[in-house]
Structure 1
Amino acid sequence: MRSLSPDQRPDRLQVRVPRPLLAGDLDDLGAPDPEGWQARGRIQALLPLHAATRSPGGVADLPVFLPAFVDAHSHLDKAFSWYEVPCPPRQGTMAAALRGNRKENDSRTAERLAARLDRALAHGWRRGLRAVRSHIDAGFPAATDCWEAVEDRFRHWADRLTLQPVAMAPMAFWQSAEGEQLARRVASLGGCLGGALDRNSQRQPGTRAGLRQLLNLSVRSGCGIDLHLDESSDPASTTLDWLLQLVPRQGLPVPITASHCCSLGLFSERRIRARARALAERGISVVVLPVTNLWLQDRAVGRTPRWRGLAPIHELQAEGVTVARTAGPSGPMATRSN
């Protein structure tokens, strides 16, 4: 895609802007800056398009103006791996997805990972993607070499895409010397620390201590935090409560994101509202993944799912929680992540 030099850019650009993209109280679209609609690549003014100024083909021929696309939760290290390690036919369960993930880790190489990253990022770039946060597995045998590939490819794409890695590892990993070393590497890339917590990990000794260490390590290294929490159809999966208990009410000096939070949708209305208020108070954002979790949650062979497997989006937003929606991996529809 060729960029225009400043003297090549038009003073005014005729486009169709979807009304929901404009501020709700914006009625008068007069231009505060009559000199032009953009300066230094940023929009300066909006003018209503009158009939006399429209293109010869009419409004229908004008391009649609959209903001750049952002993927707030991807797994680029698993990109296109559906064809290498597919979920068993007709299953699509969380357990099958995790088995496939472990199998893929065993065969992962730095070269294969670099090729996946390039293919996925090129795929997204051509379709308007301009920023990606990607969880990248850590804590497995070939992880060190693979993270070198991540650093190399992310820097290669840095002039076209804003990229943020999230190191995803078991909680025990963050209590090791290797975890400290990886945190410094992730910090140099402006990334986040993360991992996955659910009912199974709650039963494992040391998990809560590992989460506490992850929080402390994130603050020391200046990394943000993005955790897979309660991606489960078990209402006893309450690791979100652990996070709320360990993060002080005033929050932390680094951004925190809770991803998935599926089992929260099984709580009573009162409990949902209480958790939502606690999240908002601590400044913790939530990322929900409808495509992935509608595919995986409450799913079993020969049984109709009883619930939708989603976090309570409207209730979270009503209490002031910032919520983002994205696709995620582990399903046949999430092309870039599979």
Structure 2
Amino acid sequence: MKRLHIRNARLRGREAQADILVEQGRITQIADQLTQPCDQVLDAEGGLVVPAFLDPHIHLDKVNVSDVTGPNRSGTLKEAIALLWEKKRSYTVEDIVARGEDVVRRAVANGTLGMRSHVDVDTIGGLTPLEGVLELRERYRSAIDLQIVAFPQEGIQKDPGCAELMRQAMERGADVVGGMPANEASPADSLAHVKYCFDLAEQFNAEIDMHIDETDDPFYRTLEMVADEAMARNFAPGRVTAGHTCALAAYDDHYASYVIDKVKEAGIQVITNPATNLMLQGREDRQPIRRGITRVKQLLEAGVNVSFGQDCIKDTFYPYGSADMLQVANLLAHAAQMSLPGEIERVLDMITTGANQILKLPGYGVEPGCRADLVILSVSSAAEAIRLAPPRRWVIRNGEVIAWNKVEQALFL
């Protein structure tokens, strides 16, 4: 494996530019100036070098599906789910791989080398979505770390047979137990859903990552259920993730604070998905229109780890998306009003070190001993990275350049 020398790098938290030496796929030295002979030298020219971006919440089985389902005419979550039913019945592994690899390749070119994908498990599509994303994971194993969540979007109590399919999905290679307890017929069924997911996670020694209260209705309260169950079972902190948690933003402040305290005590991590939820939530509001995303700042202030994901790309839920986590970072910064210097730095943390608290990829970071999964940007600060979403000059995986981007511009003024 090549010895790689990255010159004139700007590193977060370090005033002077630095050189980075990579050997056998790992960072071995960081110093003001290095002179060892190397197989390859990259001059960052003062550009920011960060660990590879991570997307902790996406649905690779659904990406690009709007090409065949047609548009979501109401723009609602309910219609988005219904539109998928017919397509799911006719899914093939080949179709899922073809749609998904378009997104994986875009993600890698944009510096995202770790993903967690939720995959539908239900009696409509069976395990075909899982088989497709398992094939995608194997095909791109050398380029990206892909974790798979078994996701019962249609409910478990509402979808007889789903519980057994969830168990089979874990046996066939899913990494994480998913859930969507709000999509049940009653609070009692939601609680049964939560308990089943914890039972399954304990059986497979797996983590849990559920879609929680993806609604602007304040009467959906499964986040508290999940926190209570995690504490009752002494589930280790950091092994339960709650995605979306949109209803948390609709709660009155007193109840929201009460639930956030429980989330912190239970060690639950939160993923917000600003693109999709800004689009789906609050659609029937008159002014003022709710933002649709969770209480990001309040969660952070309480000491809860918060990250964010792309979630959807060109599917029935969301017609946009380009698998660029810096684009999503810009959106999150606006939606959560994170504009102060420390908040800007925190936004970049949320798709690097913060996201890795959820994915737990070994050897992640920009320190000696870390795996050399790096992105070299053409800007020198977190603020400029989020503002401009600049080309990723080089994307490095295990010390090897796997993508480079160059944009030429000419102004005739």
Shorter-chain TM-score range: 0.7 to 0.9
Match of residue 103 from structure 1: 86
Query: In the TM superposition, what whole-angstrom CA distance separates every residue of 1:112-162 from its partner, at most 9, and x where no partner exists?
Result: 112122222112112211000000001134423442332222122112111
In 2: Cα distance, 1:336 partner to 1:84 partner: 20
* 3-state SS in 2 of match to 1:231: coil
Change (3 A) 1:96 1:159: same
- Residue 14 of structure 1 corresponds to 8
C-alpha deviation, 1:38, in angstroms: 4.4
Matches within 5 A, 1:231-250: 231-248=214-231
CA contact (8 A) 1:130 1:162 kept: yes
Equivalent position of 2:32 in the other structure: 47
List, as ranges, runs of 4+ consecutive aligned residues in structure 1 with deviation greater than 4 Å.
Answer: 36-40, 302-305
Distance across 1 between alignment mates of 2:215 and 2:54: 26
Per-residue CA deviation, residues 248-286 of structure 1 (Å, 9 max, x unaligned), is 267414711000000101122232222122111111100
CA distance in 2 between partners of 1:294 and 1:242 (Å): 25
Q: Deviations over 1:308-336 (max 9, x none)?
A: 11110111111111000222122122244
Which of 321, 325, 335 pairs up with 1:334? 321
The aligned runs of 1:155-304 (5 Å cut-off) are 155-169=138-152, 170-172=155-157, 176-186=163-173, 189=174, 191-198=175-182, 201=184, 203=186, 206-248=189-231, 251-253=234-236, 255-300=239-284, 303=286
Q: Deviations over 1:8-47 (max 9, x none)?
A: x22x511344xxx32xxx66x698xx9x644552263253
2:301 matched to 1:318? Answer: yes
Aligned match of 2:117: 134
The answer to whether the 8 A contact 1:298-1:305 is kept is no
Secondary structure of 1:100's counterpart equals: helix
| Structure 1 position 62, deviation (Å) | 4.5
Instruction: Decide whether the 8 Å contact of 1:37 with 1:44 is kept in 2.
Output: yes
**Relative contact order, CA 8 A, sep 6+: which one is greater?**
2
Aligned residue for 1:52?
none
- Secondary structure of 2:293 counterpart: coil
Partners of 1:102 and 1:322 in 2: CA distance: 34
Amino acid at match of 1:115: A
**C-alpha separation in 1, matches of 2:29 and 2:176:** 33
Unaligned runs of 5+ in 1: 49-57
Identity rate, percent: 24
Asked if residue 77 in structure 1 is aligned to residue 61 in structure 2, the reply is yes
Larger proportion of helix: 1
- Contact 1:114/1:153 (CA < 8 Å) preserved in 2? yes
Shift of 1:182: 1.9
Between the aligned partners of 1:45 and 1:73, the Cα distance in structure 2 is 32
Displacement after TM superposition at 1:86 (Å):
3.7
Q: Please report the TM-score for the alignment, with normalisation by the length of structure 1.
A: 0.80
Residues 68 and 78 of structure 1, relative CA distance in 2, 3 Å threshold: same
1:202-258 superposed Cα distances (whole Å, 9 cap, x missing partner): 527633223201101101102211111110011101111211222226741471100
In the alignment, residue 231 of structure 1 is paired with which amino acid? E
Distance in 2, Cα, partners of 1:112 & 1:272: 42
Please report how far the alpha carbon of residue 69 of structure 1 lies from its aligned counterpart in structure 2 after TM superposition. 1.3
Shift of 1:175: 7.1
In structure 1, distance between residues paired with 2:101 and 2:303:
37
SS in 1 for 2:7: coil
Segments of 5+ residues of structure 2 without an aligned counterpart are: 34-42, 325-413
Name the larger-Rg structure.
1
Q: Distance in 2 between matches of 1:95 and 1:138?
A: 18
Instruction: Report if aligned partners of 2:201, 2:207 keep a CA contact under 8 Å in 1.
Output: yes
After superposition, give the CA deviation of every residue in 1:42-61 in whole Å (9 maximum; x if it has no partner): 2632539xxxxxxxxx99x5
Q: Is 77-86 or 145-154 further displaced after alignment?
A: 145-154
1:294/1:309 contact within 8 Å kept: yes
Paired with 2:261 and 2:187, the residues of 1 have a C-alpha distance of 28
Whole-angstrom CA distance in 1 between matches of 2:322 and 2:80: 15
TM superposition shift of 1:97: 1.6
Counterparts of 2:233 and 2:266, CA distance in 1:
5
CA distance in 2, matches of 1:167, 1:227: 10
Partner of 1:51: none
- The separation in 2 between residues aligned to 1:305 and 1:84, in whole angstroms, is 35
Other-structure match for 1:308: 291
Corresponding position of 2:393 = none
What's the Cα RMSD here? 3.0
Letter in 2 for 1:82: S
Residues 176 and 15 of structure 1, relative CA distance in 2, 3 Å threshold: closer
Aligned partner of residue 166 in structure 1, secondary structure = strand
**SS of the residue 1:257 aligns to:** strand
Tell me the TM-score normalized by structure 2.
0.66
Instruction: State how many pairs are aligned.
Output: 306
Partner of 1:115: 98
Contact in 2 for aligned 1:124/1:336 (Cα 8 Å): yes
